[in-house]
Structure formats: structure tokens, C-alpha cells
Amino acid sequence: MNPTKEPVVPPGPSIEEASRGLKVPGLRWWIVTLLFGAAVLNYVDRQTLSVLAEKTIQPDLGMDDRDYANVTNLFLVAYTLSYLVSGRIVDRFGTRVGMVVFVIWWSLANILTAAATGVKSMGFFRFLLGLGEAGVWPAASKAVSEWFPARERGLAIGFYTMGSTLGATLAPSLVIPLAAYPWAEKLPWITGILSHGTGWRVAFILTGAAGLVWAIPWLWLYREPRQSRLLGARELQLIEEKPAGDPPSSNSPESPWTWSQVLRFKGTWLLLVGRLITDPVWYFYQFWFPKYLGSDRHLTQEQVKITWIVYAAAGLGSLLGGWLSGRMIKQGKAPATSRIWVMLGCACLMPLAPLISSATSLDLSLTITAITVVASLAWLINISSLIVDLVPKHSLGTVFSLVATGSTIGGIVMNMIVARMVSGPSSKPTGFLDQAIQSVFGGLMKLVEGHGYGQWFWIMAFLHPIAWLVLYFGKIHRQVPRTA
């Protein structure tokens, strides 16, 4: 009698093979949550100086308002230079690598800011910060183009942009207690290392270190959709859906646009001008509004924490702008047309801006501020979504970067004008930025010199309506990008 044979059991799948079967529902929203986290850190690092400047850093380093404007302008100059190349880097090396390089760069730059000893060193470290921080936005937009269908892009961009407003909201509550903490009494060894100004120096170190931690889950999770083993087939099909009215894709692969093609695309210039005119409003709220509350409204550094209301309103505007245009797309309207009509509604609210400075009640002033901030961010979400709507994925980073240079140039001009408004004539030698701005805006600078913040709020009232007219009559909503 033959012995009974044991049944042959096939070997189980390897860990690698088993992981291929693991699918994460709603993976695209996990991706955008990481983008949200990067935006939070981006703005916490950026706002640390703005929040602490008036009452802490400027007195400690002997900086006046002109010095502060020059330091923030160095940040914006670096931002502009980075925009010119960061999108190309993202298109060349991919979203995964590009994003992590920029986050690590700016995080290290923020940590190094703790070593600043004067205006020049502070300007140098903020210049390094600007080189890194600019890269997150073309990378994030490219990630949205890779992971979201057209009807969800506005909401996705609004969601991660809300991270920037949350970062600006959290910054005062995070860094003001660090600056005010009695380090010499509680932890004298830290004061021995960092010397004077220990509190604000610790704030830069800790906020910068958070970005290094963020890089770990990003590298683990992010891949392009078709390369991700965590993405289900149904979600992939949704990501690759085409909205009504979109031209069919060519079966042959396209090459990235050359610089000549980027520059010859009319949409590039329309969107650049649109951001140049309107982004100074959001830069003002980031760089100058806390200082306005301290100087004109006489709030203490502790009371300046009330700016969380403004940045919470910005978060609401980010989501509302994306949701409104997304809803119109679901109803059958073309993506670009949906964006332009939402932007019209935003432009109609901005003439309320002069009431911010004229209102006698702080509560009323902040309420009007919140309304204009909602409108400003809803506009920003939709003009950013237009880039994603009109430009092919393979060249999105490059076009986004070039358009965004308009944003930073507008921010630089705003800084110089507002600094002249609030500080008046200066006995210090003029730098190259002052001379360049003076050559173009000399008459305006002389007109507004020394008259305070009120005139800027009047200027803000007209920027979005003018930009909307430029975009509408330039027919941005009817632009069709050329294929390579």
C-alpha cells in the first residue's frame, strides 16, 4: 500500500506581491492632504518674520520699516528667480522629487535664519527661504493635474491653498509664545548657545525642522497615478476622465513645450498680468497687515493673534472659490468659463477695501477685511485653476512658474509703495530695488509718501476689477493651448 502523499501547497505571495493588492480608497485626497501640510509649513515659515517683526525682531536687530521692506523684497526677488526655474525642474525631474527638494531647502533656510545678526544676514537667509518656498506651488499644481479630474481641480487647489491660510493663522499662536518664553530662566543653556533674541531664534529653528519630518511620508506615498500600487482601478478611471468640451487627446506622446511655445501662448501673458495686478493684495495681508494692526490700531503683539480671523477667512475663500467653479463644471459649463464668472463675483466685493481703514470699530474693520480676503483667495484659486485647465501636464510646471513671476513682481512693487506710505522719506542711501521701482513709479511714490496705510486700501479696491476686465476682454476663457 502506497503511503498517502501530502497535498502540495503553493507558496504564498511575497510581501512585495501582497502589497500590490493593497488599495487605499480616495488616494488622491491623501495626496492633496500632504500638499495641504506642505502649504501649512510654507506659510508658518514665511509668517514667522511678519508676526515677530514689529515688536521683537526689528528692535533686536535695529531694523526700521524700510529695512523690513528690503528684507521682504529680497525674499520676493528670490521667489521670482526661483519661479523662473522651479517649474522647469518639476517638469524635468517629476513632482515627487521636485517637491521634496524644495521643502527640504526652505526648511533648512528657515532654521539658518536663527543665526541672523543684522539686516544683511536676515536678508540673506530670507533670500534662501524664497528660493525654496516658490517651488512648492508649481509642484503642487502639477500634482493636482496628475491626480484630479477637471471638475475636482478647483476644490483640490482650494484645499491645499487653505493650508497656506491655516499656516498663516497658526503662525502667531505658535511663534509669539516661543518668542515670549523666559528661556534664560527656564533653559539657560539654550540662551548660552543662541545668545540674545533666543525666543525668536528658537521659533525659526522649530518651524523649519517640521518640514524635514514632512518629507518622510511624501517620499513613501507619492507616485504618478499609473505607477502607484495603492491606487484602485475605479479611482484611476475617475482621475483620467475628460470634461465635456475638452478636445480629444492625441494617441502620440507630446513633448514638453519649448520656451518659445510657452512665450507664444497668449494665456501665459494674460494670466501673468492677472496675477501681477491682484496678488499684491494677498501679499499685503501676509507681510503688512499684522504691522498695520500694531501701528494704526495699536494692538499689542499678543493681541495681534487676532489675525487668525483674517487667515481663517482666507481658508474659507480657498474652499469656496474651488467649490463654486467645480459646481458650475458639474452642471456642464466649460472649466475656464466657470472660473471667470466666479472671479467676477470676487472682483465685485473688493471695492469694500477702503472701509477697512476708515471704520472706527476694530470689529467692523476686521469683518470687512474678512470679506475682502475671502474674495481675494477665491479669485486666486480660480486664476490658478485656469493654468491647470489650459496647459498640458507635461509643461504645466514651466507655465505656472512663469505666470507666478507676475505675482512676486507685483508683491515687490507693493512692498516698496506701502513702505513709502508708512515711513515717509528716508535719509538712508537707496538700494537697487528702490532705484528700479522709483524709475517706474516715482510719481506715485512721491504722491503717497508718508500718508499711511489708508491709501493702500483705496488702491486695493480697484486691482481685481481691472484685472478681470483684462482677462475677460483678453478672452482667457476661450484660450485653447497649442499642442507640441
State the pLDDT confidence band at 467, using cuts at 50, 70 and 90: very high
Residues sharing a CB contact under 8 Å with residue 114, sequence separation 6 or more, in sequence order: 194, 201, 202, 204, 205
Residues sharing a CB contact under 8 Å with residue 137, sequence separation 6 or more, in sequence order: 400, 404
Q: Is 241 exposed, middle or buried (0-12, 13-18, 19+ CB in 10 A)?
A: exposed
Report whether 311 contacts 186 (CB < 8 A).
no
If you average pLDDT over residues 93-98, what whole number do you get?
Answer: 91
Q: Is 418 exposed, middle or buried (0-12, 13-18, 19+ CB in 10 A)?
A: buried
Neighbours of 18 (CB within 10 A): 10
Question: Percent of the chain scored above 70 by pLDDT?
Answer: 87
The C-alpha cell that represents 45 in the structure block: 515659515
If you average pLDDT over residues 141-148, what whole number do you get?
Answer: 88
**Given this model, what pLDDT does residue 133 score?**
92
Return d(Cα 184, Cα 74) in angstroms, integer: 32
Report whether 144 contacts 89 (CB < 8 A).
no
Concatenate the DSSP letters of all residues of 36-69 into one string. Answer: HHHHHHHHHHHHHHHHHIIIIIHHHHT--HHHHH
Helix, coil or strand: residue 205: helix
**Given this model, what pLDDT does residue 431 score?**
53
If you average pLDDT over residues 376-390, what whole number do you get?
Answer: 90
Residues sharing a CB contact under 8 Å with residue 433, sequence separation 6 or more, in sequence order: 70, 73, 77, 412, 416
Q: Which domains does the chain possess?
A: 35-222+262-478 (1.20.1250.20)
**Given this model, what pLDDT does residue 478 score?**
80
Torsion of CA 451, 454, 458, 463, to 10 degrees: 90
Return d(Cα 411, Cα 287) in angstroms, integer: 10
Share the mean pLDDT of the chain.
83
Return d(Cα 145, Cα 110) in angstroms, integer: 29
Q: Is 244 exposed, middle or buried (0-12, 13-18, 19+ CB in 10 A)?
A: exposed
**Given this model, what pLDDT does residue 433 score?**
60
Tens-place pLDDT, residues 11-65: 443 333 334 456 778 888 999 999 999 999 998 998 888 888 877 888 888 888 7
Tens-place pLDDT, residues 74-84: 888 898 888 88
**Given this model, what pLDDT does residue 434 score?**
62
The dihedral through the CA atoms of 459, 465, 466, 471 has a sign that is positive
State the pLDDT confidence band at 175, using cuts at 50, 70 and 90: confident
Report whether 211 contacts 45 (CB < 8 A).
yes
**Given this model, what pLDDT does residue 424 score?**
63
Residues sharing a CB contact under 8 Å with residue 96, sequence separation 6 or more, in sequence order: 218, 219, 222, 223
Question: Percent of the chain scored above 90 by pLDDT?
Answer: 29
Tens-place pLDDT, residues 227-252: 888 888 888 888 877 765 454 444 44
